[in-house]
Amino acid sequence: MTLLAAFQTVFTFKMIALIFGGSALGIIVGALPGLSATMGMALMLPITFYMPPSEGILMLLGLYTGAVFGGAYSAILLNIPGAPPSVMTSLDGYPMAQRGEAGRAISLATVGSTLGGIAGVIALIIIAPILARFALRFGPAEYTVLAVFGLSAIVAVSGKSLARGFAGAALGVLLSTVGMDNFTNVSRFTFGSIELMSGINFIPVVIGLFGLAEVIAQILETSKEGVITRTINRLFLSASDFGKVLKGLVPASLIGIVIGVLPGAGGTIASIISYNHAMQSSKDPEKFGTGAPEGIIAAETANNASVGGAMVPLLTLGVPGSSPAAILLGALLIHNLRPGPMLFTTQPVLINTIFVGLLAAQFSLLLWGLATARIAPWILAVRKEMMLPTIAVLCVIGSFALKNSFFDVGIMLVSGVAGFFLNKLGVKPGTIILGLILGPMFENNLRSTIEISGAAPIFTSPICIVLWVLTAAMVLYPICKMFRLRKCGTE
């Protein structure tokens, strides 16, 4: 009955319009170099405050799905990936466009993205309820270690420097402690400010770090200019092309789903691993990088399959699998909905609505991907002089609108400037945001565990032991990899 209710909720004119509208906006955001899914979702997040939860979440999911795919446009037509996950797409997409097959390349990316996205949603529907039932066994001790695992996993894939990743996560956790202590009702780090008594608002920080910081960077830095391929020829794929799509679908989807489930990994790593797997398993690996359809299929299928994978830890454990998933977590928290196993029990219709809505978003991707292919060159021709001031204004409006507070605008401005300099120092904004989210989860559960039964369960519970082992593996893997690369470099 809950699934039927979910279909009835999603397949209304208003819901379909929100999903398809979000997807169209996401494609534009993803296609424009310098913008990202996280930025687009951060700017739209305040709007969801005035919507019912299901409407706001599905609009953001449509935007998320569209933006993940949209980067393929600029990767194929400009050889400038609109988003990091599209780097691998440009390796074969741009050479195809150069030899007059831009339409074919876009169609391959669209179909691969759609099928990969559908596979990711199917995996989400199967895995999430099972993991949620298992997560009902989690107590405060398990959630304490889960928060540590989430932070360590995010840090491990945050960039080249593990120290900078830890610094970003630590800064986020520190910011999460500002405000009233939930256990003692003592104010912390408020410096006499009444506005800080309720803590630092999540939304202005997100808008500043992902929106304003990028605007500042785009203004001060000269970006790479590319020649746009304006001729979009046939968009319909041949039977041979469909055969290549189906052949690469299963391995690329599995890679995308598995990588997506890992907190912090995301579509970039999924597309790299999938592309390398396709190249290594090919009979003609030398054709990769020269316009091979298999390269586009592998990258885009895994990229979009990771979206469904990233939703698994978010919905079942409350741990975002990526930066866009962290924005979705913020949207749920705005409506007093805490992701986790209990959400499957208390809000089964909402959970199924998310499943069905995310599935509908994949079909919107297919429609918009093919319908907008011929106007993509004009989308990419939007000048920075028009785009950046618009984004800056949206940053101010979005941060002010939630509570009609100029203090939040100030938080956004400080976050934006700080985010710009932190990016220059190599500290990824995603680590700060996820530290800000997971900080309260860690602190509250740690203190609850100590008050109930002391610290022992954190180290003796079987689930905690498994999580500690996974945490150690996530932290040690990049360290071992770094030492191995150094050793190879000295030999």
Classify residue 2 by its DSSP letter: H
**Digit-coded pLDDT (tens) for 31-46:** 877 777 888 888 888 8
Per-residue confidence band for 163, with pLDDT thresholds at 50, 70 and 90: confident
Listed ranges 69-73, 80-84, 260-264; the one with the highest mean pLDDT: 69-73
Helix ranges (DSSP H) in 136-238: 140-156, 162-176, 202-207, 213-220
- Which pLDDT belongs to residue 23? 92
Per-residue confidence band for 19, with pLDDT thresholds at 50, 70 and 90: very high
Distance CA 332, CA 48 (A): 9
Q: To the nearest whole percent, how much of the chain has pLDDT over 70?
A: 89
Distance CA 431, CA 428 (A): 6
- Which pLDDT belongs to residue 162? 74
pLDDT higher than 70, residue 410: yes
Distance CA 474, CA 452 (A): 29
Listed ranges 59-73, 78-92, 172-186, 198-212; the one with the highest mean pLDDT: 59-73
Closest C-alpha among 90, 113, 95, 91 to residue 27 = 113
Cα 51 from chain centroid?
22
Per-residue confidence band for 198, with pLDDT thresholds at 50, 70 and 90: confident
Per-residue confidence band for 320, with pLDDT thresholds at 50, 70 and 90: confident
Looking up tokens 């889960």 gives 146
- Which pLDDT belongs to residue 356? 92
Looking up tokens 């794929």 gives 237
Per-residue confidence band for 341, with pLDDT thresholds at 50, 70 and 90: confident
Least confident range from 121-135, 137-151, 219-233, 294-308: namely 219-233
Q: Determine the 3-state secondary structure of 137 from DSSP.
A: coil
* Mean pLDDT across 283-299: 84
* Mean pLDDT across 48-64: 89
pLDDT higher than 60, residue 120: yes
235: tokens are 């968009």
Q: Cβ neighbours of residue 141 under 8 Å, at least 6 residues apart?
A: 445, 449, 453, 457, 458, 461, 464
Looking up tokens 């630590």 gives 170
- The chain-wide mean pLDDT, for the chain, equals 82
**Digit-coded pLDDT (tens) for 430-471:** 788 888 888 888 888 898 898 888 888 888 889 899 989 988
pTM as predicted? 0.83
Instruction: Decide if 163 contacts 154 (C-beta within 8 A).
Output: no
- Which pLDDT belongs to residue 210? 82
- Which pLDDT belongs to residue 122? 92
